[in-house]
Amino acid sequence: MRRKFIVGNWKMHKGPADADALADTLKRALAGRDAKVDVGVAPPFVSLSAVVSRLKHTGILVAAQNLHSEAQGAFTGEISGEMLRQVGVAYCLVGHSERRQFFGDTDAFVEKKVAACFRSGLLPILCVGETLAEREAGKEREVVTRQLTAAIGKLQADQVPSVTIAYEPVWAIGTGKTASPLQAQEMHATIRGWLESSFPAFVARSTRLQYGGSVKGSNAAELLKMPDIDGALVGGAALNAEEFLAIVEAANAA
């Protein structure tokens, strides 16, 4: 059985004080729960230390939103995986559509970032997904499988289940639009099929696939009931504790 995995991506919100307060609310709400769900949060860099400290020994995981491919060097404004590990981070988002769209992260750079996660002891959450134009052109499967092949196609089979793959249709991020449960399931089935054809059978059975794209409490249950959707990468709804906890509960009940 693949445990459901819900991660809140706080994006460029919540400085240290506000992040600590939100983390504390989640900590209190989820304390002592007997859950079937893994829960994580991805604060901005400046808030990581506060959140790691607040969530220590709670079982709530902390992820970074990005990293550089190199361990150190003259890369002003960047953060390495090794630095993130020193802070106490366990996971790192890689290839988020906003990084690809606004900051020029290419497929080749995303591959290097996945490698940097493994080098530094972080677990990658690899984001893949198509734009509206690519979907309307009927290229959504081609785009997603290209991104997968570039990012993790060269990994050893036993490394791949350590990667969480988050399918995030770019047209459904921050727009209020959501892929229907069937649309989301179709792409998740495509991703699992690619894993089956690219690696030994155990890889597809054990790799977790998240859906990301305007997930909220009102639609989480239907999405998370789909057979190949193992969790959610939550954006805006993750900034509201009540809304995020509703998604966690939906995952627990799925």
Q: Which domain holds residue 228?
A: 4-253
**Maximal C-alpha separation, the chain:** 48
Q: Which two tokens stand for residue 100?
A: 């690809």
CATH number assigned to the domain comprising residue 23: 3.20.20.70
What pTM was estimated for this model as a whole? 0.96
Residues tagged active-site? 96, 168
Average pLDDT over residues 71-100: 98
Q: pLDDT digit string (tens) for 22-81?
A: 999 999 999 877 778 999 999 999 999 999 999 999 999 999 999 999 999 999 999 999
Q: What rounded mean pLDDT belongs to the chain?
A: 96
Cβ-contact 214, 168 below 8 angstroms: no
Domain count, the chain: 1
Cα(122)–Cα(99) distance, rounded to whole angstroms?
A: 19
Q: pLDDT digit string (tens) for 108-139?
A: 999 999 999 999 999 999 999 999 899 989 99
Percentage of residues of the chain with pLDDT beyond 90:
91
